């Protein structure tokens, strides 16, 4: 059974960098064939795709966040990570990691989500 | 950038059929998928590649996609189907993922 688990600080100060890691079990990122995404959901709002990475390191980002986002992969640890710089209160959200085949084929596995609050 | 539009809310009586639409330019030329999200839970994929149901998803969930509109249909709606539903597509021209704004399905 594939499982994804987000981890990282739940509280980040404004202007700092939000850093989260997604640990994958039950599947190997380095096997290829899947894209690994970060998605967020502001409180009471809809889903917003942040970006995805392939095991090779190839990435694609949401244009609205591109200037502040970096997604990386560590195949030795079977993890991928999100860094979002210069955060503001508007970045307060539940952050999910998720897996998809071809990106248009849907996210079939999701992490439980982690709430990140940006506040001083 | 590519956009998907959903109605904010849809209401249905138990046992009836609910239809939730998702509109986007030439959406029928792309694959659409649908997610169900209940309060405090992660989204669950209920339809992918327009019409396919993942293992474990009840047959009462079905999908279609043509022209500019994808539709999620819930037949014989049950109280447990009350949730937020999101459509999603992939814009192959930009390789970007796009979500609709979500529709709250209320079973009255």
Chain A CB contacts of B99 under 8 Å are 46-49
Sheet of A69-74, strand order: A3-7, A18-25, A79-84, A69-74
Nearest Cα residue in chain B from A64: B1
Question: What pLDDT, in 10s, does the model give residues A24-73?
Answer: 999 999 998 999 999 999 999 999 999 999 999 999 999 999 999 999 99
Question: What pLDDT, in 10s, does the model give residues B35-93?
Answer: 999 999 999 999 999 999 999 999 999 999 999 999 999 999 999 999 999 999 998 88
Q: What are the residue ranges of helices labelled H in chain A? A: none
Cβ distance B96 to A46 less than 8 Å, yes or no, reads no
User: How many residues does this entry show for chain A?
Assistant: 120
Cβ distance B88 to A107 less than 8 Å, yes or no, reads yes
Range A60-66, long-range pairs (CB < 8 A, 24+ positions): A60/B95, A60/B96, A62/B96, A62/B97, A63/B1, A63/B94, A63/B96
With beta carbons less than 8 A apart as the criterion, state whether B43 and B33 touch. no
| Residue A12, min C-alpha distance to chain B (Å) | 22
Cβ distance A110 to B43 less than 8 Å, yes or no, reads yes
Residues 6+ apart with CB under 8 A from B2: B24, B25, B89, B91, B94, B96, B98
Q: Going along chain A, which residue ranges are E strands?
A: 3-7, 11-12, 18-25, 35-41, 47-53, 59-61, 69-74, 79-84, 93-100, 107-110, 114-118
CB-based contact, B79 to chain A, within 8 Å: no
Nearest Cα residue in chain B from A96: B42
Cβ distance B42 to A104 less than 8 Å, yes or no, reads no
Average pLDDT across chain A, whole number: 96
């Amino acid at each position: 059974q594939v499982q994804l688990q987000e981890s990282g600080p739940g509280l980040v100060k404004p202007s700092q960098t939000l850093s989260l890691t997604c640990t994958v079990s039950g599947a190997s990122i380095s096997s290829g064939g899947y894209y690994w995404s970060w998605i967020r959901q502001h409180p009471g709002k809809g889903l917003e795709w942040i970006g995805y990475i392939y095991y090779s390191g190839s990435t694609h980002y949401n244009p609205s966040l591109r200037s502040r986002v970096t997604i990386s992969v560590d195949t030795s640890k079977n993890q991928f990570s999100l860094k979002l710089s210069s955060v503001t209160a508007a970045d307060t959200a539940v952050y999910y990691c998720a897996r998809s085949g071809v990106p248009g084929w849907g996210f079939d596995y999701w992490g439980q989500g982690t709430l990140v609050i940006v506040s001083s | 950038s590519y956009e998907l539009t959903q109605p904010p809310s849809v209401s249905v009586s138990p046992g009836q059929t609910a239809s939730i639409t998702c509109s986007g330019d030439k959406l029928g030329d792309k694959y659409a998928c649908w997610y169900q999200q209940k309060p405090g839970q992660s989204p669950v994929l209920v339809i992918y590649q327009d019409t396919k149901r993942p293992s474990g998803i009840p047959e009462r969930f079905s999908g279609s996609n043509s022209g500019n509109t994808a539709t999620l249909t819930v037949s014989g709606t049950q109280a447990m189907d009350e949730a937020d539903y999101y459509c999603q597509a992939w814009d192959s021209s930009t390789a970007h993922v796009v979500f609709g704004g979500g529709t709250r399905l209320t079973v009255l």
